[in-house]
């Protein structure tokens, strides 16, 4: 666990001014690990053993849920039990397909695919950009986790819209939602999270304004993180690394 803790420590350092400004305490590594492994255990072994009476939709999210049945883009985050969130969305009858990558080893990938299946249909299949566009055009709800650092080169015409501030740090964002909106300007964009109590789960949904999309997305996610910093598992990801400005700055210092 050495590498995740190093990344965690560096992310705390970079985001400390944001937390100081908001008068909030940053999470402890032990808190984060306890939550993360707890959520993973629930998704992998427990969620389908319980009846649905423990799961409800927030009353202010019901109208948004109905709109999501018509398709669009769903931006999730590494906040709370995001794997279980996908299952609950599929369970509610949404036409969901979440972006996924093949995991290694193969048996683990097959195990995950079974867990990401509801009524015989997997809701996390790998799709090419062309297939994803066709999926959305046919009324599908395309989901992706949008709080990851985008390290590939971004098309120049999208680059400005794919840069944003998150927890006070400049970040690169996945251009794919912007690419979709360029083709289908009226595509609605949603986000949401699953709040878990000891004996219940509540789904909260939000519709995002697509103007300055990533600023709006990060504002939503920042509020969640400030509410409970140890439920955001992006702390152990290189979210704030590999930015051109940071790399160039480090080179200049070393010369």
Mean pLDDT for each 10-residue chunk of the chain (255 residues)? 81 96 97 94 72 80 98 97 94 94 84 90 90 94 92 82 94 93 94 89 96 97 98 92 46 36
Overall number of domains in the chain:
1
Q: What domain range includes position 143?
A: 2-254
Q: Can you give the pLDDT at residue 235?
A: 96
Q: Can you give the pLDDT at residue 47?
A: 66
User: Given strand 189-196, what is the order of strands in its sheet?
Assistant: 55-57, 201-208, 189-196, 72-76, 141-145, 96-98
Q: Can you give the pLDDT at residue 247?
A: 42
Q: Can you give the pLDDT at residue 243?
A: 43
Cβ atoms of 125 and 100 closer than 8 Å: yes
Compute the distance between CA of residue 162 and CA of residue 212 in angstroms, rounded to an integer: 9
Q: Can you give the pLDDT at residue 255?
A: 32
Write the DSSP string, 186-216: T--EEEEEEEE-SS-EEEEEEEEPSTTHHHH
Beta bridge partners of residue 67, listed in sequence order: none
Compute the distance between CA of residue 15 and CA of residue 167 in angstroms, rounded to an integer: 6
Cβ atoms of 221 and 149 closer than 8 Å: no
Cβ atoms of 205 and 65 closer than 8 Å: yes
Look at the block and give the residue holding tokens 């995950």: 112
Q: Can you give the pLDDT at residue 42?
A: 87
Q: Can you give the pLDDT at residue 98?
A: 94
- Label residue 155 exposed, middle or buried (CB < 10 Å: 0-12, 13-18, 19+): exposed
Q: Can you give the pLDDT at residue 149?
A: 80
| CB neighbourhood size of 131 (10 A) | 13
Q: Which of 84, 64, 115 is nearest to 200 (CA)?
A: 84
Q: Can you give the pLDDT at residue 1?
A: 45
Look at the block and give the residue holding tokens 């996945």: 174
Regarding beta strands 121-122 and 117-118, do their DSSP bridges make them parallel or antiparallel, or are they unpaired? Answer: antiparallel
């Amino acid at each position: 666990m050495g590498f995740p803790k190093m990344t965690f420590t560096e992310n705390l350092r970079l985001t400390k001014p944001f937390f100081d400004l908001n008068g909030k305490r940053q999470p402890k590594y032990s808190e984060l690990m306890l939550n993360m492994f707890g959520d993973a255990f629930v998704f992998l072994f427990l969620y389908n053993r319980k009846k649905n009476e423990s799961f409800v939709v927030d009353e202010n999210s019901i109208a948004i849920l109905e709109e999501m049945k018509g398709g669009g883009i769903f931006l999730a985050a590494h906040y709370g039990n995001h794997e279980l969130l996908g299952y609950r969305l599929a369970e509610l009858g949404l036409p969901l397909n979440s972006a996924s990558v093949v995991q290694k080893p193969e048996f683990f990938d097959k195990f995950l695919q079974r867990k990401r299946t509801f009524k015989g249909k997997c809701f996390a299949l790998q799709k090419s950009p062309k297939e994803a566009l066709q999926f959305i055009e046919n009324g599908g709800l395309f989901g992706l986790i949008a709080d990851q650092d985008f390290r590939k080169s971004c098309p120049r015409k999208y680059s400005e819209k794919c840069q944003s501030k998150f927890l006070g740090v400049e970040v690169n964002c996945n251009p794919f939602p912007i690419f979709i909106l360029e083709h289908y300007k009226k595509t609605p964009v949603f986000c949401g999270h699953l709040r878990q109590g000891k004996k219940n789960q509540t789904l909260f949904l939000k519709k995002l304004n697509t103007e300055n999309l990533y600023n709006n997305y990060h504002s939503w996610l920042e509020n969640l993180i400030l509410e409970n910093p140890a439920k955001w598992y992006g702390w152990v990801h290189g979210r704030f690394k590999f930015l051109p400005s940071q790399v160039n700055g480090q080179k200049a210092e070393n010369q």
